């Protein structure tokens, strides 16, 4: 079958998925219907004195007064979801504005051109370079929403190399999600889960690192294989709508004088560009330290990137007015992404209002009690995967599920480390597919990639990665990790 510029097969029946906003709204309505069908129930909870988290108490699930969510209440949940995700949405807006400022200096375009020239005939080596950068972000601080504003920049790089937009998503978001799932140090996944399981932080890090290397090698190799099969000439790649928008933006920048000369892409990197790149890298380093050492949240991240954008604009001679206008353009480009994140959060809002989140968790974990050790571990992976669809926060899922699974694993004779692995691979890898992951949906929208096209690409790799995770768990059980 012939391939088009997006890497899609012509002449084959296509899976059709509704528009992302339609899909997420439908999920909100399904959650509301579930509140009428499923029994309302809750676990008792206690406050952990060390962290302040509200943790569930195992064995305490009980039915409570039902609170079915009506149609109008479900629609009201949409703006409530936006409000609930406000810190994340503002982070996306402010990072988007900051990187729009960086982009309009022309430094990124010149840097991309220099990188391609330096690779000579090995342009596809860009894929492992970019993938490892984003994978490191996933490993260290669960990089997700931070990727959204970088997609337009990566599309410029992909267009120059003739790569399909799916490759852009795969080597950024895909690599980051894989890094997060197999990370030995991710504070929002493995660290919080180990803490809840009363395990030493970063315990079994060497074991996890081995399987992290295997998973990333698999993901990058398959991304490069797909890129080779679907690569087209740059002129053909520029026909993609998302790239056309970027091209229009480049022309507009040249017309108003804020983006440098028309031949920016052909010039070498300037000395001022090195200063801009240094500032960006310093900000990223400060963000990593802030999240891992200073307990920074989304608000502190937003402030750090906002300051970076302002300083870059002033250093580039854009002045305050030009910098502010660039921020406005960045905010405008991130509006759709913000909506997707808010709509995705609304699903969980409805489930909470309907008092059925704990019911779903109880129904999935209760059958595991009668299974053999390894089968129960694999069952935990499946249950964590299913739970992650209505509970799209990995840290929230850890707080919800680990207090239930730890006593269960002790009862079954399954090590707590293996239980944490089951949580990581179940919840973390689900990020690659679930439409309730607002960051994923926003990244796909920014790249101009249909959700169904991404699913068709990612499912085989997802299944292979789940297989790697199953091998890791079986090895952990066998070695007594």
What DSSP letter does each residue of 192-247 carry, written as one string?
HHHHHTT--TTTTHHHHHHHHHHHHHHHHHHHHHHHHHH---HHHHTTSHHHHHHH
Mean pLDDT of 446-462: 95
Mean pLDDT of 406-415: 88
Among 409, 410, 404, 387, which residue's Cα sits nearest to residue 58? Answer: 404
* pLDDT band at 182; cut points 50, 70, 90: very high
Cα–Cα distance between 361 and 397 in angstroms, integer?
Answer: 10
Q: How far is CA 398 from the centre of its chain?
A: 17
Tokens linked to 235:
């002129």
Among 214, 262, 206, which residue's Cα sits nearest to residue 481? Answer: 206
Average pLDDT over the chain reads 87
Domain regions of the chain by residue span: 28-479
Residue 162, SS3 per DSSP: coil
What pLDDT does residue 253 have? 35
pTM: 0.82
The answer, yes or no, to whether residue 423 has pLDDT greater than 80, is yes
Q: 242 vs 83, which has greater pLDDT?
A: 83
* pLDDT band at 326; cut points 50, 70, 90: very high
What pLDDT does residue 5 have? 44
What pLDDT does residue 13 have? 54
Tokens linked to 428:
């973390």
Mean pLDDT of 428-453: 93
């Amino acid at each position: 079958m012939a391939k088009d510029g997006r890497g899609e097969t012509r002449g084959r029946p296509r899976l059709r998925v509704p528009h992302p906003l339609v899909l997420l709204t439908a999920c909100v309505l399904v959650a509301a219907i579930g509140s009428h069908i499923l029994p309302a129930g809750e676990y008792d909870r206690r406050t952990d004195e060390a962290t302040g988290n509200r943790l569930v108490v195992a064995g305490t699930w009980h039915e409570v007064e039902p609170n079915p969510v009506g149609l109008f209440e479900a629609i009201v949940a949409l703006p409530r979801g936006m409000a609930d995700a406000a810190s994340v949405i503002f982070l996306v807006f402010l990072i988007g504005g900051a990187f729009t400022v960086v982009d309009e200096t022309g430094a990124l375009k010149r840097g991309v051109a220099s990188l391609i020239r330096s690779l000579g005939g090995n342009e596809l080596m860009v894929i492992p370079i970019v993938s490892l950068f984003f994978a490191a972000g996933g490993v260290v601080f669960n990089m997700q929403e931070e990727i959204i504003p970088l997609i337009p920049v990566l599309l410029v790089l992909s267009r120059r190399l003739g790569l399909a937009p799916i490759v852009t998503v795969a080597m950024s978001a895909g690599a980051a999600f894989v890094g997060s799932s197999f990370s030995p140090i991710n504070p929002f996944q493995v660290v919080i889960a180990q803490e809840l399981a009363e395990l030493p932080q970063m315990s079994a890090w060497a074991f996890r690192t081995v399987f992290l290397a295997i998973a990333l090698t698999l993901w990058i190799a398959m991304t490069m294989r797909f890129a080779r099969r679907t690569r087209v000439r740059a002129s053909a790649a520029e026909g993609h709508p998302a790239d056309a928008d970027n091209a229009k933006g480049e022309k507009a920048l040249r017309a108003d004088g804020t983006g440098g000369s028309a031949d920016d892409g052909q010039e070498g990197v300037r000395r001022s560009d090195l200063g801009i790149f240094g500032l960006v890298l310093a900000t990223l380093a400060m963000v990593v330290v802030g999240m891992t050492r200073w307990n920074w949240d989304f608000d502190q991240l937003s402030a750090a990137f906002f300051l970076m954008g302002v300083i870059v604009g002033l250093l580039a001679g854009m002045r305050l007015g030009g910098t502010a206008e660039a921020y406005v353009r960045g905010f405008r480009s991130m509006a759709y992404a913000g909506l997707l994140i808010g709509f995705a959060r609304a699903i969980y809002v409805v489930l909470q209002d309907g008092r059925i989140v704990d019911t779903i968790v109880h129904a999935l974990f209760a059958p595991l009690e009668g299974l053999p050790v390894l089968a129960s571990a694999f069952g935990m992976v499946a249950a964590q995967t299913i739970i992650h669809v209505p509970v799209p926060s990995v840290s929230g899922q850890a707080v919800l599920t680990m207090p239930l699974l730890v006593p269960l694993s002790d009862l079954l004779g399954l090590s707590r480390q293996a239980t944490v692995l089951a949580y990581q691979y179940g919840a973390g890898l689900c990020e690659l597919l679930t439409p309730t992951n607002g960051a994923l949906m926003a990244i796909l929208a920014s790249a101009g990639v249909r959700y169904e096209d991404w699913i068709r690409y990612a499912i085989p790799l997802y299944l292979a990665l789940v297989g790697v995770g199953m091998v890791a768990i079986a090895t952990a059980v066998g070695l007594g990790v």
